[in-house]
């Protein structure tokens, strides 16, 4: 065996102009990473270069991914580049796998300077699918705009990258591996960790596992069904729900992570998790949930596949927050939702006199509030919910929160939801997604709508559909001033708010790798009529939204690709 120190090379490269991270990281088709020379290397070098060399040396960095196609290849490159870029120690998930919430947990546990998470989240995978790279900072949360802009600027001028091509890592064995590098005094250390155990430990300190065990496997236990959609969260579900809380093995399906997620899109919503809803329809299960590929998103279902909108789920957790032991100890400092998320949470905040924050879409905005001790629970309409135990959204945490509430209230999902609507009224909410739209057409639509709503006569304008009349009270392009550092984030979605509180919001999605995604968010509130059909209630607003935007006419589409 050759024990000579590994060589560190500096390799010349040419920059790309399109490595700007979106809502959460850089997401591109796999073939872009494979076919464009050094596309991966350039972005990874830009991440390392964005961290001061003194901060890199001697400190730890976490690496893991959702196991999708290209995960292993990328990890090999990242390890070789981390060694060459002076990173003191790497903490890598066993087999290269780590869910996004676990990564946040591990960054915080090891006091790392940050983490690189390989995932394109709910986007499809495989050789024809997507790959993605996220960079999280020392607080465990997604890098803020200042940092991602710096990475983007570096990627546009990069001339070389450093790599240690001879470094070979064994991802299958837990524990430390050390490597001697040429011209370096200290060895480079890689530690392969059991992220599932670190995460399970955190959950044991947040929830009362004895209560949950009674609910899930005691004498009068409920029946649940969890769909990991072949993403990375499967082993976490198995270890916590089955091994520890006593759920039967067959309650957790699609728990083996696969490179192509079994050919399905790992997106926990009414369209892509339709199998779970179908199976639950006959009433055999009391509770159901699905997760996305990296385990940060969740969809909550009650008996017969009753769908709990993420906005309602957040409001219900907020209203019952003291059922959760963690919050009994820590107290609740503040609640937050992203702007497009329904105002159901606002009603709970008002009633409980807890401060509420409305942030732009993207989990990174919550992190600042949490670090400043202002925020305890937050969520987004895009199936994200979490507390301040980490700095990411956390799918399995949301499931354990719901199960804790069910155990504490001794009620079903349906009873809990109905009680909530009776108490607060109901915020009907839906989202229309138009995927893979021509980028120019989408931008033109947004520009035209912005011009239209900026007209001083737009406010007070009335829109009538059948017997419904809506009068505009306010219209703007949402802008956020961070209460902690006063940074301003502009252009976060066009809002039309009517006098009865109903809203139409237009926003361009920031997570697609192909064309543009136009999202239209519709919301209306009813204090009394809480049992209506969401799509029926919101149909007039949808008509108005399409009339204002002329979206179908502009794009030739006849309807959304996904309705949530
Ligand atoms: C990411 C962010 C979320 C955000 C979502 C929005 O989700 O982490 O905070 O709500 O994007 O997506 P879009 O910009 O397409 O509407 P994920 O789960 O894809 O990382």
Give the CA distances from residue 33 to residues 19, 185, 281, 345, in Å, rounded to whole numbers and listed in that order.
11, 34, 41, 40
| Pocket mutation for ligand 1, best pick of 361, 378, 442, 494 (most atoms within 8 Å of C-beta) | 361
Average pLDDT of span 457-484: 94
The encoded tokens of residue 361 equal: 């879409």
Helix (H) or strand (E) holding 224: strand 224-227
160 in the same domain as 145: yes
Residues 70 and 137 reside in one and the same domain:
yes
Tell me, yes or no, whether 359 and 470 share the same domain: no
For 537-540, the CB contacts below 8 A with 24+ separation are: 537/428, 538/428, 538/429, 538/430, 539/465, 540/465, 540/466, 540/468, 540/470
Pocket of ligand 1 (CB under 6 A): 23-24, 121-122, 292, 296-297, 361-363, 380, 382, 384, 509-511, 517, 519
Interval 494-512 mean pLDDT: 94
Q: Does residue 236 lie within any of the structural domains?
A: yes
Instruction: For residue 382, give the ligand 1 atom closest to its CA.
Output: 10
Q: For residue 341, report the distance from its CA to the centre of ligand 1, in Å.
A: 12
User: Which of 24, 294, 446 is the pocket-test mutation for ligand 1 (most atoms within 8 Å of CB)?
Assistant: 24
Residue 2 included in any domain: no
Residue 420 sits in the same domain as residue 462 = no
- Domain carrying residue 277: 199-424
pLDDT in tens, 406-430: 999 999 999 999 999 999 999 999 9
Per-residue confidence (pLDDT) for residue 23, from 0 to 100: 79
Q: Whose CA is nearest to atom 16 of ligand 1?
A: 509
Atom of ligand 1 nearest to the CA of 338: 10
- Candidate from 268, 296, 363 with most ligand 1 atoms within 8 A of CB, to mutate: 363
Distance, in Å, from the CA atom of 345 to the CA atom of 337, rounded to the nearest integer, reads: 7
Q: How many helices (H) and strands (E) does the chain have?
A: 19, 27
Do 274 and 297 share a domain, yes or no? yes
pLDDT(563) > 90 = yes
Tell me: do 141 and 131 sit in the same domain.
Answer: yes
Domain endpoint, select from 368, 398, 424: 424
Residue nearest to atom 18 of ligand 1 (CA): 121
Q: Which atom of ligand 1 is nearest to the CA of 519?
A: 16
Q: Do 72 and 137 fall within a single domain?
A: yes
For the residues 18-32, what does the mean pLDDT come to?
Answer: 92
Q: In the prediction, which pLDDT does 2 show?
A: 63
Q: How far is the CA of 23 from the centre of ligand 1 (A)?
A: 6
Residue closest via CA to ligand 1's atom 13 equals 509
How far, in Å, from the CA of 380 to the mean position of ligand 1? Answer: 9
> Does residue 3 carry a pLDDT above 90?
no
Specify the pLDDT at position 552.
95
Please indicate, yes or no, if residue 156 is contained in any of the structural domains: yes
Residues 390 and 295 in one domain: yes
* Pair (158, 242) in one structural domain: no
- Span from the CA of 82 to the centroid of ligand 1 (angstroms): 27
**Which of the listed residues 20, 21, 23, 341 should we mutate to test ligand 1's pocket, taking the one with most ligand atoms within 8 A of CB?**
23
Which atom of ligand 1 is least distant from the CA of 364?
Answer: 9
Ranges of beta strands (E only) in 494-542 are 494-498, 503-508, 516-526
Tell me, what CATH number does 212's domain have?
Answer: 3.40.120.10
* Cα-to-centroid distance, 401 and ligand 1 (Å): 21
The residue whose C-alpha atom lies closest to atom 3 belonging to ligand 1 is 362
Among 175, 193, 211, residue at a domain's last position:
193
Residue 240 is given by DSSP the state I
CATH of the domain at 459: 3.30.310.50
Sign of the torsion formed by the C-alpha atoms of 435, 438, 444 and 448: negative
Q: Which of 46, 121, 293, 313 is labelled catalytic?
A: 121
Whether residue 368 is found in the same domain as residue 441: no
Q: How far is the CA of 475 from the centre of ligand 1 (A)?
A: 24
- Atom 10, ligand 1: which residue's CA is nearest? 362
**What is the per-residue DSSP string for 336-383?**
EEETTS-THHHHHHHHHT--EEEE-SSTHHHHHHHHTT--SEEEETTT
In this predicted structure, the answer to whether residue 1 has a pLDDT above a threshold of 60 is no
Q: Work out whether strand 60-65 and strand 114-118 pair parallel, antiparallel, or are unpaired.
A: parallel
Q: What pLDDT sits at residue 558? A: 92
Q: Which residue has the tokens 């001083």?
A: 456
> What confidence score (pLDDT) does residue 57 get?
87
pLDDT tens string 57-112: 889 999 999 999 999 999 999 999 999 999 999 999 999 999 999 999 999 999 99
Instruction: Render pLDDT for 133-153 as a digit per residue (tens, 0 to 9).
Output: 999 999 999 999 899 999 999
- Among the candidates 193, 217, 243, a domain finishes at 193
Using one digit for the tens of pLDDT, what is the confidence trace for 362-393? 999 999 999 999 999 999 999 999 999 999 99
The best mutation among 384, 385, 521 to test binding of ligand 1, ranked by most ligand atoms within 8 Å of the C-beta, falls on 384
Same domain, 450 and 420: no
The pLDDT score that the predictor gives to residue 186 is: 85
Tokens representing residue 122 in the block: 């709910």
What would the two tokens of residue 121 be? Answer: 């989240």
Structure tokens at 271: 């369209």
Cα–ligand 1 centroid distance for 528 (angstroms)? 33
Q: Taking the mean position of all CA atoms in its chain, how far away is CA 528?
A: 33
Burial 451-486 (b: 16+ CB within 10 A, else e): eebeeeeeeeeebeeeebebebeebebbebebeeee
Residue pLDDT, tens place only, 440-455: 999 999 999 999 999 9
**Side-chain-side CA neighbours of residue 158 (13 Å):** 33
Q: Decide if 278 is inside a domain.
A: yes
d(CA 247, CA 226): 10
Relative to the CA of 361, which ligand 1 atom is closest?
10
**Nearest-atom index, ligand 1, CA of 122:** 19
Q: From the CA of 224, how far away is ligand 1's center (Å)?
A: 27
Looking at the CA of residue 22, tell me the nearest atom of ligand 1.
Answer: 14
Residue among 78, 57, 76, 79 nearest 185 (CA): 57
Output the residue whose Cα is nearest ligand 1's atom 2.
Answer: 362
**Digit-coded pLDDT (tens) for 206-223:** 999 999 999 999 999 999
Tens of pLDDT along 314-361? 999 999 999 999 999 999 999 999 999 999 999 999 999 999 999 999
Residue nearest to atom 9 of ligand 1 (CA): 362
Closest CA to 388 of 405, 363, 406: 363
Average pLDDT score, the chain = 95
Closest-CA residue, ligand 1 atom 11, reads 23
Rg, C-alpha atoms of the chain: 24
Is 23 catalytic? The answer is no
Calculate how far, in angstroms, residue 362's C-alpha sits from the geometric centre of ligand 1.
6
Residue 1 located in a structural domain: no
3-class DSSP assignment, residue 200: helix
Residue 517 CA: which ligand 1 atom is closest?
A: 15
Nearest atom in ligand 1 to 120's CA: 19
pLDDT at 185 over 90: no
Residue 206 to residues 159, 236, 310, 322, 467: CA-CA distances in angstroms?
47, 16, 21, 12, 49
Q: Please report whether residue 3 resides in a domain.
A: no
Residue 184's pLDDT is: 77
Asked whether residue 240 falls in the same domain as residue 149, the answer is no
Distance 462 CA to ligand 1 centre (A): 33
Residue nearest atom 7 in ligand 1 by C-alpha distance: 24
Distance 383 CA to ligand 1 centre (A): 9
Q: How far is 230 from 519, CA to CA, in rounded Å? A: 27
Query: The whole model's pTM is what?
Result: 0.93
340 in any annotated domain: yes
Residue 380 backbone phi and psi in degrees, to 5: -135, 155
d(CA 372, CA 484): 7
**Is there a domain that residue 264 lies in?**
yes
Residue nearest to atom 4 of ligand 1 (CA): 362
Residues facing 481 on adjacent strands:
488
Label residue 202 by pLDDT band (50, 70, 90).
Answer: very high
Query: How many domains, in total, are found in the chain?
Result: 3
């Amino acid at each position: 065996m050759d024990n000579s120190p590994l060589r560190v090379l500096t390799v010349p490269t040419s920059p790309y102009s399109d490595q700007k991270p979106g809502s959460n990281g850089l997401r591109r088709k796999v073939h872009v990473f494979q076919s464009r020379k050094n596309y991966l290397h350039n972005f990874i070098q830009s991440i390392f270069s964005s961290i001061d060399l003194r901060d890199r040396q001697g400190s730890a960095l976490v690496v893991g991914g959702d196991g999708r196609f290209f995960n292993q290849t990328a990890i090999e490159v990242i390890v070789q580049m981390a060694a060459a870029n002076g990173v003191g120690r790497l903490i890598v998930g066993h087999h290269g796998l780590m869910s996004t919430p676990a990564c946040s947990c591990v960054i915080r546990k090891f006091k790392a300077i940050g983490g690189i998470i390989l995932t394109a989240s709910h986007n499809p995978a495989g050789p024809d699918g997507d790959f993605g790279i996220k960079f999280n900072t020392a607080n465990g949360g997604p890098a803020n705009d200042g940092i991602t802009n710096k990475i983007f600027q570096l990627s546009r001028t990069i001339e070389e990258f450093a790599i240690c091509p001879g470094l070979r890592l064994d991802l299958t064995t837990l524990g430390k591996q050390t490597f001697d590098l040429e011209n370096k005094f200290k060895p480079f250390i890689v530690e392969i960790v059991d992220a599932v155990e670190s995460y399970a430990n955190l959950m044991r300190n947040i929830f009362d596992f004895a209560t949950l065990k009674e609910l899930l496997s005691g004498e009068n236990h409920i029946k649940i069904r969890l769909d990991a959609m072949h993403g990375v969260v499967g082993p976490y579900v198995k270890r916590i729900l089955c091994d520890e809380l006593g759920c039967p093995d067959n309650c957790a399906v699609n728990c083996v992570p696969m490179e192509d997620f079994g050919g399905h899109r790992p997106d926990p919503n009414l369209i892509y998790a339709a199998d779970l809803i179908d199976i639950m329809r006959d009433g055999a299960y009391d509770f159901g949930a699905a997760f996305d590929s990296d385990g940060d998103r969740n969809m909550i279902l009650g008996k017969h596949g009753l769908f709990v909108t993420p906005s309602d789920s957040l409001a219900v957790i907020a209203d019952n927050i003291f059922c959760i032991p963690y919050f009994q100890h820590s107290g609740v400092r503040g609640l937050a939702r992203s702007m497009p998320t329904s105002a159901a949470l606002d009603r709970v905040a008002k009633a409980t006199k807890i401060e509420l924050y409305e942030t732009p879409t993207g989990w990174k905005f919550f992190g600042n509030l949490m670090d400043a001790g202002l925020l305890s629970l937050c969520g987004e309409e895009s199936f994200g919910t979490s507390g301040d135990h980490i700095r990411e959204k956390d799918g399995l945490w949301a499931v354990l929160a719901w199960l804790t509430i069910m155990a504490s209230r001794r009620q079903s999902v349906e009873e809990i939801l109905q009680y909530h609507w009776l108490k607060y009224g109901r915020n009907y909410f839906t989202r229309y997604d138009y995927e893979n739209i021509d980028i120019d057409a989408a931008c033109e639509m947004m520009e035209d709508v912005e011009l239209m709503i900026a007209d001083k006569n737009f406010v007070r304008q009335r829109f009538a559909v059948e017997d419904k009349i809506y009068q505009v009270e306010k219209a703007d392009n949402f802008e956020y001033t961070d209460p902690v550092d006063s940074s301003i984030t502009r252009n976060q979605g066009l809002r039309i708010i009517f006098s009865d509180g109903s809203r139409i919001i237009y926003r361009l999605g920031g997570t697609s790798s192909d064309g543009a995604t136009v999202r239209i968010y519709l919301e209306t509130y009813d204090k009394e009529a809480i049992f209506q059909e969401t799509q029926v209630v919101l149909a007039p607003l949808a008509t108005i939204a399409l009339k204002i935007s002329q979206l179908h006419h502009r794009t030739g589409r006849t309807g959304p690709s996904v309705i949530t």
